[in-house]
Chains A and B, each alone.
Chain A
Amino acid sequence: MNSPLDSSVLFTVGPVPISTSVATVWAIMVILSIVAVVVRRGLALVPSTTQALFELVVDAVDSQIRATMRVDPAPYRAFIGSLFVFILVCNWSALVPGMEPPTANLATDAALALLVFVAVIWFGVRAGGVRDFLATFASPSPVMIPLNFIESLTRTFSLLVRLFGNVMSGVYVIGIVLSLAGLLVPIPLMALELLTGAVQAYIFAVLAMVFIAGAIERDKT
């Protein structure tokens, strides 16, 4: 059995090896962009069925941001919404025969977690300057500065490990059951994996919201 920590090389561009998961991510990015552009072109005041479906998704993201962060969702809708939709499509791409979800690879999850780490700093600085953002590290008392600092690193790491562990373990459980029991037996497990994939995408987005909300929160007193 292949190690889940390695990645297989699909082809090389010059000296740079391109792994299978990177190629899958590119394909998913292209498909999502094309869908977004096509849906955007057909926007109308009286929505078609497709538009209503996509508006439902945007509304759901908006209401989640409003409920979790208690701020106007407009500045965060693009980032949180893309994170959620991208991870969801990545997790569910396992349904396509022969495809392995790119989130079952450590590198993809590391990139996503790094994005959240940078976004927390970006939104925190944008909300009220560098000084105020750094002041959030001393938030209950200055004694907490080293702990808050370490926490901002470890929570990024746990974000990465959580998504990787869940998706990769699902892939492996299905693979093991398939090799032991044979065709059609792992279908209930695949259904469970769909649920896990959706829940993990939701949790990743909610945790990104919680981290950003912590960075933009200002002491009112």
Chain B
Amino acid sequence: MNWIAIVSIIAAAVAVSFGAIGPAFAEGRAVAAAMDAIARQPEAANTISRTLFVGLAMIETMAIYCLVIALLLLFANPLLK
């Protein structure tokens, strides 16, 4: 195993682990804010939870991008060809 492969594996792990931190905090804050809003205005729960789901999907995309980068490094690495 040459050093490019070793670096790729380490980089993939680092990408996923650090890439998950930001979205995790962001999703926590979004859910907390939505809970707060629903507690204040229970009649708007439908609109809030729909917007929350869309927002969570947007935030989660950041983590998924990191996952895709990791997969590219592991399975479709152009430097290893």
Contact = CB atoms under 8 A, between A and B. Distances in A.
B75 to A, nearest CB: 4
A5 B64 CA distance: 14
Interface of chain B, helix or strand or loop or mixed? helix
Contacts of A202: 53
Contacts of A210: 54
B47 interface: yes
Q: How big is the B interface, by class?
A: 10 to 19
Interface stretch (A32-40, A46-54, A128-136, A161-169): A161-169
Interface string A184-199: 0000000000000001
Interface in B26-81: 46-47, 50, 53-54, 57, 60-61, 64-65, 67-68, 71-72, 75-76
Interface residues of A, number: 20
A17 interface: no
Most buried by A among B47, B57, B60: B57
Nearest to A210: B54
Interface of B: 46-47, 50, 53-54, 57, 60-61, 64-65, 67-68, 71-72, 75-76
* Shortest Cβ-Cβ A-B pairs, 6 listed: A165-B64, A3-B75, A203-B57, A158-B61, A162-B61, A165-B67
